[in-house]
Amino acid sequence: MTLKQLRYLLALVDHGLSVSRTAVALHTTQPGVSKMAKTLEREIGLDLFVRTGNRLVGLTDAGRDAVELARRVLRDTGTILALAKNVQTGLTGTLRVGTTHIHACYALVEIVQRFLVAHPGVDLVLTQGTPIEILNWVREGSIDIGVSTLPKQLPEDIVTFEAYSVERCLIVPRRHPLLKVKRPSIQDIARYPLITYDEAFNSGWVVQREFQRRGVTPRVIIRATDANVIKSYVAAGVGIAVLQKMAIDLARDTDICIVPSDHLFPASMSMISVQKEHVLRPFGQDFISMIRAQTKRKPIQEDQLSRTVRKVLKSHEDIAG
């Protein structure tokens, strides 16, 4: 059994067990992918795939276990390879950061600018997704750092640190009746059509939760995944919305107005997430430090870190010194 076979196995699963899409993604042939699947089953001595004729239609119980173990093996292999890179100067490389659209577009812009000036030899790859997708990418090792609010359930192999607070406000079109209400209630807001985030995003279910907690059902007419889309429809007079304050610049967003609603919709904490056994190179730790420094978070204490991350911190201090 080889690492190449394990990569083929994971590629098959990640492409919905489609041999054709897997072959394209791996720059190989469909017969080559099919042969690999059969060879791997023969070497292991178990059926990993459920087949209908020659088509792969699912995974057996043994197949699901094999996929989980394969992800772990490849992730650990990447960790071992990263150890060698950390012995080097740490001045060049690639940092992979997963975040949501709202954080990439607003909260992280200045941090990314500063980071690239401080580390001109580092390529920064920003991947956008939902909070759940971001955590899965961290677990799999396909990204180094996740930055987002977090879902309710966290995997045990993820370490998180506070990044910055995400505050919300109500936005309405100009001359909207709610602008005359000094302290609107949840009932006041529910009288108007609501544009909201999809509930796959923290801001979507947080807003819905506050309505439910008060026994109020709003009329949601649009669910979106992009703050700019939400602002556009509010400006057009289609509805009102609860949006993160960082996404609003009244100097540019001249067709919308803010109605204070801190008393209704609480702030959320954006978190930094890393895989416990993933070795962050020094510039990765510097990226985390920049986020926390900008928002005046306390330095990360050593007892919060896994043994692997502590090693990286020490190597970073040695290089800086």
Following DSSP, what letter does each residue of 104-143 receive, concatenated? Answer: IIIITHHHHHHHHHH-TTEEEEEEE--HHHHHHHHHHTS-
pLDDT in the model for residue 191: 95
Per-range mean pLDDT, top range of 125-139, 228-242, 272-286: 228-242
Comparing 8 with 79, the larger pLDDT belongs to 8
pLDDT(20) > 70: yes
pLDDT in the model for residue 313: 42
The CA distance from 36 to 29, in Å, is 11
Residue 308 pLDDT grade (very low, low, confident, very high; cuts 50, 70, 90): very low
Nearest to 120 by CA among 82, 86, 92: 92
Dihedral of alpha carbons 78, 80, 81, 85, sign: positive
Residue 67 pLDDT grade (very low, low, confident, very high; cuts 50, 70, 90): confident
Tell me the average pLDDT across 65-83.
73
Nearest to 284 by CA among 105, 129, 147, 101: 147
pTM comes to 0.64
Residue 320 pLDDT grade (very low, low, confident, very high; cuts 50, 70, 90): very low
Residue 86 pLDDT grade (very low, low, confident, very high; cuts 50, 70, 90): low
Residue 192 pLDDT grade (very low, low, confident, very high; cuts 50, 70, 90): very high
Q: In order of start, what are the domains of the chain with their CATH numbers?
A: 3-75 (1.10.10.10), 90-166+269-320 (3.40.190.10), 168-266 (3.40.190.10)
**Residue 244, beta-bridge partner list:** 168
Residue 298 pLDDT grade (very low, low, confident, very high; cuts 50, 70, 90): low
CB 259 within 8 A of CB 182: no
CB 12 within 8 A of CB 19: yes
The CA distance from 305 to 312, in Å, is 10
Residues 6+ apart with CB under 8 A from 203: 102, 149, 166, 168, 196, 197, 242, 243, 244, 268
pLDDT in the model for residue 83: 55
pLDDT in the model for residue 140: 83
Tell me the average pLDDT of the chain. 83
Comparing 321 with 7, the larger pLDDT belongs to 7
Nearest to 170 by CA among 151, 191, 184: 184
What element of type H or E holds 272?
A: strand 268-275
pLDDT in the model for residue 173: 95
Q: What does the pLDDT look like over 229-258, one tens digit per residue?
A: 999 999 999 999 999 999 998 889 999 999
Cα of 277 vs its chain's centroid, Å: 18
Q: What does the pLDDT look like over 216-230, one tens digit per residue?
A: 999 999 999 889 999
**Residue 275, beta-bridge partner list:** 158
Nearest to 124 by CA among 287, 276, 278, 290: 287
Per-range mean pLDDT, top range of 49-53, 75-79, 194-198: 194-198
**The amino acid at 200:** A
